[in-house]
């Protein structure tokens, strides 16, 4: 277990206003690269991913203005360079909530019930993805030790 706490913080609204005007496809490309690396490293249960086939997902970081839209097809996560009008499942939260999820400081249920994580779309698919997130075992590494340094710049005192 990690020995630090990621504080709850929110980036200034200006960051989101600027971020929304920037191209969004790099977010999807980076996220799918990471998800496919997790697949290759066997951090994700491949047999359970078949239920994701052909589904589209959106991950929005509200306080950065960033949005990643991607799909799972033929055993790989793929970015949607032209996002569809509607997605099957959407996640929306501030950067702090996602960092807390990655660091295993908070679980998706707690963030959802505290209204820090919004999940919309196919309920059954949402439950499946939540269970996949809960079962994800990322071995400790150097990047997780550096994670708490990023939000400390933005923490409100």
pLDDT confidence bin for 47, thresholds 50/70/90: confident
pLDDT of residue 21: 95
Each residue of 84-121: pLDDT tens digit?
999 999 999 999 999 998 888 888 889 989 999 999 99
Q: CATH for 14-152?
A: 3.30.1050.10
Cα angle value 83/120/152 (rounded, 5°)? 85
Domain boundaries, the chain: 14-152
Torsion sign (Cα): 140, 145, 147, 151: positive
Tell me the whole-structure pTM to 2 decimals. 0.81
Condensed to tens digits (0 to 9), the pLDDT of residues 48-63 reads 899 999 999 999 999 9
- Cβ partners under 8 Å of residue 118, min gap 6: 90, 91, 92, 93, 112
């Amino acid at each position: 277990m990690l020995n630090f706490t990621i504080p709850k913080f929110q980036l200034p609204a200006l960051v989101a206003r600027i971020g929304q005007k920037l191209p969004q496809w790099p977010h999807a490309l980076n996220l799918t690269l990471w998800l496919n690396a997790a697949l290759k490293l066997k951090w994700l249960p491949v047999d359970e991913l078949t239920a994701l086939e052909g589904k589209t997902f959106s991950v929005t970081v509200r306080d950065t203005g960033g949005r990643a839209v991607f799909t799972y097809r033929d055993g790989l996560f793929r970015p949607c360079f032209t996002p569809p009008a509607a997605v099957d499942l959407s996640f929306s939260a501030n950067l702090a909530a996602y960092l807390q999820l990655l660091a295993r400081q908070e679980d998706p249920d707690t963030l959802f019930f505290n209204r820090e994580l919004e999940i919309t779309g196919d309920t059954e698919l949402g439950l499946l993805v939540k269970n996949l997130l809960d079962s994800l075992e990322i071995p400790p590494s150097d990047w997780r030790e550096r994670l708490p340094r990023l939000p400390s710049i933005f923490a409100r005192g």
